[in-house]
Amino acid sequence: MALPPSGVDGVKPGVVVAAYGRRYRVELADHTEVDCVTRGRRTDVACGDHVHAVRTGAGTGVIDEILPRRSLFYRSDARRQKLIAANVTQVVIVVAAEPAYSEDLINRCLAAAEHAGILALIALNKVDLPGADAASAALELYRSLGYRVVGLSAKRDLEPLRRYLSGHTSVLVGQSGMGKSTIINGLIPDACARVAEISTALGTGRHTTTHAELYHLGENTHIIDSPGLQEFGLGHVPLLDLADAFVEFRPLLGSCRFRDCVHLSEPDCAIAAACEDGRVSERRLASYRRLAGELRRERFR
């Protein structure tokens, strides 16, 4: 991952390769790593951020500056936001044949990626299990919308996914149990040891993914693992911009009777009409309306 030129007066350029609580691990240009905190109480640092850090001791430092981001993938609600990854070029949404995945969570992640201008890929894991055919059929909707969908069995063969990762900085997102950790462990053999090391340092005693961590797969290929998601709010997306984050809605925007139509229950809504004649999926419109309803309620709190 290319870093900016070296700074002066002890300031070193680096990239945040792990973010846990208010502590961050920064990899400097010489590939050494420094355990950092931030100045004051700021917590707006994400895994993947390019930063300037100042050493404060052996293996420790302070993040002095966050450099401009090319992208930011995060979730939010009316009270707070949770940064997931910065400077990524691709969001990989991991689902599985078993256990059942949340289609609503897929739609939320896709909308967040579209709003941030980041490519999205859906990875269907555990295709060797009996429910794989049904899961793949359900994902045909997303293929029809132009999204890339790849099937794999992370315990057996990661090559179907690996070719989609080349040249990208990707972030893996998804519910717990979908196999993200298995994918990471297959791609990076020492990942388990690194997670265990962080867990011990934090005193959690847990070896599951509780923090975001960046791994290098090659000179221009990197991957960020993130904790399992159970919810994904889009409080940072303006209500009037939400429809644009649903790719199939875009050709219809501006065709409604009212300019400020938010496609919930307004008369002569072009998106509702497209759903009635089969041009827009009922599943996708229902998911959009749940999201829009949330944003409207938060707006008037």
68, 27 Cβ separation under 8 angstroms: no
- Segment 76-92 mean pLDDT: 92
- Same domain for 126 and 23: no
Strand partners, 58: none
pLDDT for 211-238, tens place per residue? 899 999 999 999 999 999 888 999 999 9
- Same domain for 55 and 93: no
Q: Look up the CATH number of the domain holding residue 261.
A: 1.10.40.50
> Domain range for residue 259?
239-299
Query: How many Cβ atoms from other residues are within 10 Å of residue 164's Cβ?
Result: 17
- Same domain for 258 and 216: no
Q: Look up the CATH number of the domain holding residue 42.
A: 2.40.50.140
pLDDT for 177-203, tens place per residue? 999 999 999 999 877 645 545 444 444
Peptide bond into 99 cis (omega under 30): yes
Distance CA(282)–CA(285), nearest Å, equals: 5
Unique residue bearing structure tokens 């997931």: 84
Which of 225, 247, 273 is the endpoint of a domain?
Answer: 225
Residues in the chain: 301
206, 199 Cβ separation under 8 angstroms: yes
pTM: 0.89
The closest alpha carbon to 78, from 234, 291, 245, 287, belongs to 234
Residue 90 has pLDDT above 70, yes or no: yes
3-class state of residue 114 by DSSP: helix
Domain count for the chain, please give it.
Answer: 3
Q: Look up the CATH number of the domain holding residue 80.
A: 3.40.50
Strand partners, 53: 12, 63
